């Protein structure tokens, strides 16, 4: 999805035949999924590190 950048943030452009609202909702959904994925990776990493540290002590 192409758009413009305003104050360091990408502003989605409406796709051909689509509305600006749908472009924004797709961008929000993509950002939400990315945040959830990063959060679950972080949780898994901290769990592994915690286990490794407890075994090492």
Q: How far apart are CA 32 and CA 21, in angstroms?
A: 16
DSSP string, the chain: --EEEETTEEEEPPPTT--HHHHHHHHHHHHHHHHHHHHHHHHHHHHHHHHHHHHH-
Q: Is the dihedral of CA 44, 48, 54, 57 positive or negative?
A: negative
Q: What is the mean pLDDT of each run of 10 residues along the chain (57 residues)?
A: 54 62 72 82 90 79
- Give the gyration radius of the chain's Cα atoms: 19
pTM: 0.40
């Amino acid at each position: 999805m192409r758009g413009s950048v305003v104050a360091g943030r990408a502003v989605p452009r409406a796709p051909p035949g689509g509305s600006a609202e749908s472009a924004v909702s797709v961008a929000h959904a993509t950002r939400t999924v990315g945040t959830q994925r990063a959060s679950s990776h972080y949780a898994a990493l901290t769990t592994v590190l915690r286990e490794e540290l407890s075994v090492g002590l």
